[in-house]
């Protein structure tokens, strides 16, 4: 691709990060090497001093990893990106780069479970304070801000209730108080939501989900906006060591090529499934950002270009009803995780959110009958037929 050509997002998915390589391969080669040979002691020393561009050691940088990083940075509209070994490696590296002892973090209470545990149980041991808030109401963020608040950490839509936070509003509050806004954009991917356009300072992803899209890689990424930030994050990542390896970077880069078509297809599928469920007599309610019944429907319209692939719904009859559906699906796969081409279904109360305990779940709106679906790219009629037959196993209440 010519450097100076301005491309639309779907074209960028196919071409971003692809350059010319020796022997002319169309796809970036996998540089499966831990270390790189120096041409001379002088050249090696110049690389270490940062005077020359080049590669030294794969924990520091690797061409296959860099190609994927450039692609994600381009799709998010950031300056550069840092590939990590998992979403949690990206999140922990981000927080350890931005926070010092004595600092305070405000975070959405609906964040991914291990993120909350990291902030509350691990960062607290290093003297970092935190306040979880229901960030769907910006007043709660404003009230939680303190003079030592350095980071406002937002995940939107949140998991599994799909609660949506107004990104521009949250960024404005963070910046007014001299804090940075970090956004976990895993649930949307840059195909549907680009947090930098709404004031975010750092964007993180679990690339395990939509970015890779094929349920065969665990990986994460940090996207930053400036060269200064890039240097700061790269240095900490190099010490913490949670980098992605070349083969996984290659797989993610391959997955990115179809990101836009996958996100459009699974969003269309999810919309039809959400409508089917909303009309089903055994379903109590459906939570989906594309339905007008979603409490933050207006905000979703403002900052998301499509509603995405995650649908949550509550079956009449609570836990037992949820279990009956889980045990009866044939095409949908009973598994946690999300964002792949295949439809996954799971039961948060007995699976991903079991460790929260019933009381905390109820407070967060995660009811006993709530079922979460990560809609894939199968034919939507097949998916609806499967859900229809699974729901027929639920006893009438």
Ligand X SMILES: *Cc1c(COP(=O)(O)O)cnc(C)c1O
Could you tell me the two tokens for 100?
């010092």
Q: Does 184 bind ligand X (CB under 6 A)?
A: yes
**How many whole angstroms separate alpha carbon 264 and alpha carbon 118?**
33
Contact (Cβ atoms closer than 8 angstroms) between residue 185 and residue 209: no
**Which one of the spans 7-15, 59-67, 201-209, 227-235 is the region binding ligand X (CB under 6 A)?**
201-209
Contacts of residue 48, defined as CB under 8 A and 6 or more positions apart, other chains included, come to 56
- Residue 200: count other Cβ atoms within 10 Å of its Cβ: 27
Q: Does 88 bind ligand X (CB under 6 A)?
A: yes
Residue 59 designated active-site: yes
Residue 184 designated active-site: yes
**Which one of the spans 1-9, 144-152, 204-212, 248-256 is the region binding ligand X (CB under 6 A)?**
204-212
* Least gap, CB of 224 to ligand X (angstroms): 18
* Least gap, CB of 112 to ligand X (angstroms): 4
One of 208, 303, 304, 346 touching ligand X (CB under 6 A) = 208
One of 61, 161, 206, 367 touching ligand X (CB under 6 A) = 206
**How many whole angstroms separate alpha carbon 244 and alpha carbon 86?**
7
- Which residues share a beta bridge with 374? 310, 344
One of 86, 97, 108, 343 touching ligand X (CB under 6 A) = 86
Of 10, 21, 55, 59, which residue is the catalytic one? 59
Q: Does 93 bind ligand X (CB under 6 A)?
A: no
Radius of gyration for the alpha carbons in the chain, expressed in angstroms and rounded = 22
Contact (Cβ atoms closer than 8 angstroms) between residue 185 and residue 203: yes
**How many whole angstroms separate alpha carbon 135 and alpha carbon 124?**
21
Q: Which is nearer to ligand X, 63 or 309 (CB)?
A: 309
Contact (Cβ atoms closer than 8 angstroms) between residue 236 and residue 202: no
* Least gap, CB of 306 to ligand X (angstroms): 18
* Least gap, CB of 220 to ligand X (angstroms): 5
Residue 112 designated active-site: yes
* Least gap, CB of 155 to ligand X (angstroms): 6
| Interface with ligand X in residues 95-114 (CB under 6 A) | 112
Among 374, 63, 367, smallest CA distance to 245 is for: 63
Map residue 231 onto helix, strand or coil. Answer: helix
- Which residues share a beta bridge with 105? 130, 151
* Least gap, CB of 159 to ligand X (angstroms): 6
Q: Does 160 bind ligand X (CB under 6 A)?
A: no
Q: What is the pattern of x (binds ligand X, CB under 6 A) and - over residues 45-74? A: ------------------------------
Of 112, 153, 230, 288, which residue is the catalytic one? 112
Where are the extended beta strands (E) located within the chain?
A: 80-84, 104-108, 129-133, 149-155, 180-184, 202-206, 220-224, 283-287, 310-315, 333-334, 344-346, 370-374
The helix, strand and coil proportions of the chain, stated in percent and rounded to the nearest 5, come to 40, 15, 45
Q: Which is nearer to ligand X, 65 or 391 (CB)?
A: 65
One of 155, 260, 314, 368 touching ligand X (CB under 6 A) = 155
One of 83, 220, 289, 290 touching ligand X (CB under 6 A) = 220
One of 14, 120, 218, 351 touching ligand X (CB under 6 A) = 218
Residue 206's Cβ-side half-sphere holds a number of Cα atoms within 13 Å equal to 20
Q: Which is nearer to ligand X, 87 or 290 (CB)?
A: 87
Q: Does 186 bind ligand X (CB under 6 A)?
A: yes
**How many whole angstroms separate alpha carbon 5 and alpha carbon 17?**
13
Residues that bind ligand X (rule: CB under 6 A) add up to a total of 14
Contacts of residue 232, defined as CB under 8 A and 6 or more positions apart, other chains included, come to 97
Residue 49 designated active-site: no
Q: Which residues are catalytic?
A: 59, 112, 184, 209
Contact residues toward ligand X (CB under 6 A) are: 86-88, 112, 155, 159, 184, 186-187, 206, 208-209, 218, 220
């Amino acid at each position: 691709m010519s450097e100076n050509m301005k491309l639309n997002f779907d074209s960028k998915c196919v071409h971003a990060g692809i350059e010319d390589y020796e022997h002319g391969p169309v796809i970036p080669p996998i540089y499966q090497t831990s270390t790189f040979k120096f041409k001379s002691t002088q050249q090696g020393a110049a690389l270490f001093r940062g005077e020359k561009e080049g590669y030294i050691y794969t924990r520091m940088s690797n061409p296959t990893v860099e190609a994927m990083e450039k692609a994600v940075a381009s799709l998010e509209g950031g300056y550069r990106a840092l590939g990590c070994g998992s979403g949690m490696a990206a999140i922990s590296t981000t927080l350890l780069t931005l926070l010092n002892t004595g600092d305070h973090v405000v975070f959405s209470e609906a964040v991914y479970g291990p993120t909350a545990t990291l902030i509350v149980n691990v960062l607290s041991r290093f003297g970092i304070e935190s306040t979880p808030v229901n960030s769907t109401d910006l007043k709660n963020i404003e009230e939680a801000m303190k003079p030592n608040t350095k980071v406002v950490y937002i995940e939107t839509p949140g998991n599994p209730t799909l609660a949506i936070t107004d990104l521009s509003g949250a960024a404005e509050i963070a910046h007014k108080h001299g804090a940075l806004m970090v956004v976990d954009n895993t649930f949307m991917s840059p195909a549907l939501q680009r947090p930098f356009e709404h004031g975010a300072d750092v964007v993180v992803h679990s690339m395990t989900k939509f970015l890779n899209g094929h349920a065969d890689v665990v990986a994460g990424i940090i996207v930053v906006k400036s060269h200064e930030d890039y240097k700061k994050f790269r240095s900490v990542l190099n010490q913490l060591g949670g980098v992605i390896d070349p083969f996984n970077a290659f797989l993610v880069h391959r997955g990115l090529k179809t990101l836009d078509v996958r996100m459009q297809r699974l969003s269309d599928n999810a919309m039809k499934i959400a409508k089917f469920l909303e009309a089903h007599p055994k379903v109590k309610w459906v939570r989906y950002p594309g339905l007008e019944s979603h409490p933050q429907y207006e905000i979703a319209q403002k900052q998301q270009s499509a509603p995405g692939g995650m649908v949550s719904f509550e079956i009449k009859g609570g836990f037992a009803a949820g279990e009956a559906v889980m045990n009866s699906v044939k095409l949908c796969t009973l598994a946690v995780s999300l964002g792949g081409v295949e439809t996954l279904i799971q039961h948060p109360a007995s699976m991903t959110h079991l460790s929260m305990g019933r009381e905390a779940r109820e407070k967060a709106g995660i009811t006993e009958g709530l079922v979460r679906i990560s809609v894939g790219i199968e034919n939507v009629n097949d998916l609806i037929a499967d859900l229809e037959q699974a729901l027929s196993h639920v006893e009438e209440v």
